[in-house]
Amino acid sequence: MSQGDAEPVADDASRPVPASGRRLRRWSTGLVVVLLLAALTTYQFDLGTRWFDLGPPSPVSEPAKVPPPPGLSLPQLGTAPAVAESTAPADADPVAVRRAVAALAASRALGPRVAVDVAQLSDGESVLSQGPAKVTPASTLKLLTAGAALVQLGADHRFTTSVVRSGPRGPIVLVGGGDPFLASQPVDDADVYPPRADVQTLARSTARTLRASGRDRVQLRYDASLFSGPQLSPHWGASYFPDNVVTPISSLWVDEGLQPNGYQRYADPAAAAAEVFADALRERGIKVVGQLRPGRAAPESTELAAVQSAPLGQIVERVLQVSDNEGAEVLARHVALAAGAPATFEGGAAAVLETLGGVGVDVAGNQTFDGSGLSRDDRLRPETLLSLLHVAATSEQHPELRRLLSGLPVAGFTGSLTYRFDTGSPLGLGAVRAKTGTLTGVHGLAGTVTTRDGAVLEFVAIADRVALRDNATAQAIVDRLAAALAACRCAA
């Protein structure tokens, strides 16, 4: 055959196809099938839109980008008119303020010690001050605790619960970081505020890390050493824990130390939290051997997993809204730690006052023993509460304190005031925002109110020697007093 002759080419039927060609043909056919199935699935289940952001905009996530139906012409959006004219807060007339509350403050049902103090929110100027110089604050003290926590830590601070180990075969340690709302189970309810970290999620992450390192058996210790001192205050009633008023305060617990029945409290909330965590590990295939017992995490420990709380600003709002005793006591200890003081009842109470004094709050002359106001030995000047509210409303240096105002319950609508203010002027509903303060024989409110004619006031009304038979009546009278300020034509 000459060089220029072409070799005859056999057709497919007469010439064998190499193995590589057959494989290529099979791969090509398979690829076509896969592409057709992918196209069909994408069309059927709208995966292009969900995975690759293809297709029309979503009315849920991008409602403004959804075009109107064909034939429908929509007007251009404009600026909505104001429902009311904007006005500057008016000054208050002291005579009118006194007249509005005089009869209610003098009610015999309030007992012999009734403090009523009112000031203008804008400049803190007092317009009324009557009654004892110091009162038992009850839960109005939580305003001070929450404010000091915000100053020391900031509204974005989060508390971490972690699991650590020292050495590849040593015990693992569940370390409490003082998260007041650490939960035993994931909380998916959208109505629960703020969101909760939980030990089930922590156990899942821990189990994953352990298995990755070849471990499926561990000893477990738990570390609640972040806080110190007694867990129940010597200034509290001896019946508080037996009567399920409050949980022993710990840096490690779940569900604030409440048992699953929802009202009894664990005597050792840290041990109970460790049991819940151990059960969660077992459910995920990790065998927990030996006894659960306390043990401090070594400084050189390696973190295996961690969960974080909601931001402090949200925690503060919740503590104030529902008057959470346990949450307030945990926050007081965090204030102490941030201030370099012992994380005890005594250290927390002192650090709260010192912290607030440092930002201009008038804290002179007070004597406090806890962070929640459960102690009947607490003595607080009403002016201190007014001073704190004023600083929270006006301080440009500490905008985080605005969380105190947003956390105040709204009369007749939210938190501990949801089912109150059903007597007195209806103008109090929605216009009064106040922290409640209630112990047997003590009834009080501390917060803000806008009068009928635009004066914005801060007020404290506390009766701390109410006869047992008058408790229900006294609470209603304090509500009516606050509502009377809302209904007052008190502008100067």
Positions marked active-site: 139, 142, 323
- Rounded to 5°, the CA angle 103-107-110 comes to 135
Residue 138 CA: distances (Å) to CA of 40, 107, 442: 67, 21, 7
Residue 179 identity (one-letter amino acid): D
CB atoms within 10 A of CB 196: 22
Looking at the DSSP bridge assignments, the partners of residue 369 are none
* Sign (positive or negative) of CA dihedral 436, 442, 446, 449: positive
- Rounded to 5°, the CA angle 250-252-253 comes to 90
Q: Which of 310, 309, 330 is nearest to 146 (CA)?
A: 330
Crossing angle for the helix pair 325-338 and 345-357, to the nearest 10 degrees: 70
